[in-house]
């Protein structure tokens, strides 16, 4: 456990993760409030996610898990004398998170244009706010990973991996609090 606090970059990452966690938790609380107030008013809370959407969510989860795991492998490989494998693992993590970001945009397009649940609806606004902030955090992580890959010997790869783990955990929270409860699996 002391390994995660042994450098200044890792301690700073822990504070950044704590701040992001508080912000994301507040956004999640807003979504739960909107859902309960909408249902209390007698309005239906939409269930726009079907079986195909949940397959997309499974693919998103797979890419976030792969991106997180490969950053951890890169952190271990960075300790070796030859840093080329570590750079390759960071590149794989970057490609996994890029694919995640692309699939998330595909999901937004489906929700906004095909399901007509744009940002002006309570569900669409909270969905886009939650997933959009996660998307922005993943873009920041990609920039960080690129910064690490440029000079892997002098950068703290484990600090970047810690942030990748946080993004992965946050995605799992979104999956189980946003996607799964709002799924409509009738007609499978």
Q: How far lies 110's CA from each of 30, 77, 116, in Å?
A: 23, 39, 9
CB 130 within 8 A of CB 31: yes
188 lies in a domain?
A: no
Tell me the whole-structure pTM to 2 decimals. 0.91
Distance CA 176, CA 187 (A): 21
DSSP 181: G
28 lies in a domain?
A: yes
Domain total in the chain: 1
124 lies in a domain?
A: yes
92 lies in a domain?
A: yes
% of the chain beyond a pLDDT of 70: 98
Q: Within 110-181, where are the H helices?
A: 122-150, 157-174
Mean pLDDT, rounded, for 116-142: 92
119 lies in a domain?
A: yes
* Tokens describing residue 67: 């991106």
Phi, psi of 184 (to 5 degrees): -120, 100
171 lies in a domain?
A: yes
Q: Could you give the angle at the alpha carbon of 96 between the alpha carbons of 27 and 5, nearest 5°?
A: 65
CATH of the domain at 45: 1.20.120.80
Distance CA 71, CA 157 (A): 8
67 lies in a domain?
A: yes
pLDDT in tens, 146-163: 999 999 999 999 999 999
142 lies in a domain?
A: yes
Q: Which domain holds residue 175?
A: 2-182
pLDDT in tens, 40-51: 998 888 889 989
Kindly tell me if the per-residue pLDDT of 2 is higher than 90. Answer: no
């Amino acid at each position: 456990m002391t390994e995660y606090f042994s450098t200044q970059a890792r301690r700073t990452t822990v504070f950044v993760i704590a701040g992001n966690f508080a912000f994301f938790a507040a956004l999640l609380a807003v979504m739960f409030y909107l859902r309960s107030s909408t249902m209390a008013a007698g309005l239906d809370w939409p269930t726009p996610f079907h079986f195909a959407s949940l397959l997309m969510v499974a693919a998103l989860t797979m890419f976030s898990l792969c991106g997180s795991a490969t950053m951890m492998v890169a952190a271990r490989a960075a300790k070796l004398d030859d840093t080329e494998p570590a750079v390759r693992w960071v590149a794989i993590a970057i490609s996994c998170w890029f694919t995640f970001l692309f699939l998330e945009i595909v999901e937004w397009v489906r929700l906004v244009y095909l399901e007509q649940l744009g940002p002006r609806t309570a569900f669409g606004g909270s969905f886009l706010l939650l997933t959009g902030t996660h998307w922005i955090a993943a873009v920041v992580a990609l920039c960080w990973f690129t910064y690490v890959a440029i000079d892997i010997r002098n950068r703290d790869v484990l600090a970047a991996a810690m942030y990748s783990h946080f993004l992965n955990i946050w995605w799992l929270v979104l999956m189980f609090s946003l996607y799964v409860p709002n799924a409509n699996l009738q007609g499978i």
